[in-house]
Amino acid sequence: MSALQKSIMKSKLPPRCPKSASGKLAPFGMARRKDYSPVPWQQYFEKYVDVETESGRFRVYLSPEPDHSSRPRLVTLHGGGYSGLSWALFTEEITNMIHCQVISMDIRGHGETQADNPDDLSADTLVKDVEQVLHKLFGEELPPIVLVGHSMGGAVAVRAALLPSLEPYVHGIAVIDVVEGTAMDALASMQSFLRGRPTHFRSIEHAVEWCVRSGQVRNVDSAKVSMPSQIVNCETNLLATNELATHTPEAPHAPAPMALAPAADCIAEEPEDADADCIAEEPEDADADFTPPPTAPPQRGDGDTNMRYKWRIDLSKTERYWSGWFQGLSARFLSVRAPRLLLLASIEGLDRELTIGQMQGKFQMQVLTRCGHAVHEDTPGEVARVIAAFLLRHRVTEPTEAGEDMHLTSTPGC
């Protein structure tokens, strides 16, 4: 483990767990106090389209079209293990601030996308998918494009911005919480990290609760819409989002404690007035992206054998592609011609090459606090505000009536 990785791991140690009203720690699955009922994607996106390419069928979620064809399209690319619905709350926020349309795509192997070779997550393949989907949506002449990517999706966005067929139309790029140096350092311990996660869930609410209490996503509202798109029904192998129309919410209950692996999963129940940040976090760039189950039997320590849902994708089987996502990322990011923005959850994540580039003013950087790795889900309003101000500063678009009242252009950058 490198010194940089040790520093990051040390800075991400979980805080003290809050005590329950009885003074004892409440294990995972007990005394549920919050509403973890799933929320359909229709509350945040206007529609979806399934884009047919030579590589398969790709699900794309769309916000309403902008008021003019010259307005930018924000193409959002999620991290590994997530889906296009992880941008739901961000979409609602930013379309209220600036004139734009959000195009949120399920990357191959994720969500509702059905690619011919779903296990091929090589960087070149993922970039080609983005290129084909955009040209299928808009033809040869694209509208102004702003690429926004989180973690693995950020690495894909950087590569896509350099493609000859896309580069003339890319008016900006925003990369969220991924830096080459720390990502590469973390790969050696990645499989161990993956094995620390539960493999199955009893219900959709159970999955949403784990997502929030484990720290994968700190924002309950975001987890409610994004988590169902990350799990499938064990019997039908269909995404849990397909069940929401007829879904009967699970009544709160207090089962026996779940015996989970010694990881960030074992978290005390939070009091009603607890600080939302008092949740164990995952190590920086020991990527919250990676959410596949291990090959071990399902962890059913509470005696409940009715584990109905499992993860949509097993990223542990794609280890051979991991380093390819991040190698050369910093140099590529600095070589993008369009305006560049880097959003981080911690200043400690910056590597040497980006530190020098930032000191030379080659890109804008913003560090957001009180959030974990899934920055855009934890604090969607803040991320939207930073990106909106970034695009207004570079005259890529104009503010909406609501955005004018927010004085977005005065938002400072680092």
Residue positions annotated with a catalytic role? 151, 177, 373
Are 224 and 207 in contact by the 8 Å Cβ rule? The answer is no
Cα 281 from Cα 340, distance rounded (Å) = 28
CA angle (294 as vertex; 293, 296 as ends), nearest 5: 120
**Amino acid present at 101:** Q
Cα 263 from Cα 313, distance rounded (Å) = 20
Cα 218 from Cα 207, distance rounded (Å) = 13
Cα 283 from Cα 266, distance rounded (Å) = 15
Rounded to the nearest 10 degrees, the angle between the axes of helix 152-161 and helix 319-326 is 50
Region class of 243: left (phi > 0), else alpha (psi between -120 and 50), else beta: alpha
Centroid of chain to Cα 403: 25
CA angle (224 as vertex; 221, 230 as ends), nearest 5: 135
Are 157 and 146 in contact by the 8 Å Cβ rule? The answer is no
CA-closest candidate to residue 311, choices 101, 63, 86, 83: 83
Cα 374 from Cα 132, distance rounded (Å) = 27
Instruction: Compute the Cα dihedral for 325, 331, 332, 334 and give only its sign.
Output: positive
Cα 379 from Cα 9, distance rounded (Å) = 22
Q: 259-292 in b/e burial notation, b at 16+ Cβ within 10 A? A: ebbebbbbbbbbeeeeeeebbbbbbbbbbbbbbb
Element holding 10 (H helix, E strand): helix 3-11
Cα 145 from Cα 134, distance rounded (Å) = 10
Centroid of chain to Cα 78: 5
Q: How far is CA 296 from each of CA 154, 200, 238, 260, 261, rounded to the nearest angstrom?
A: 31, 11, 22, 12, 11
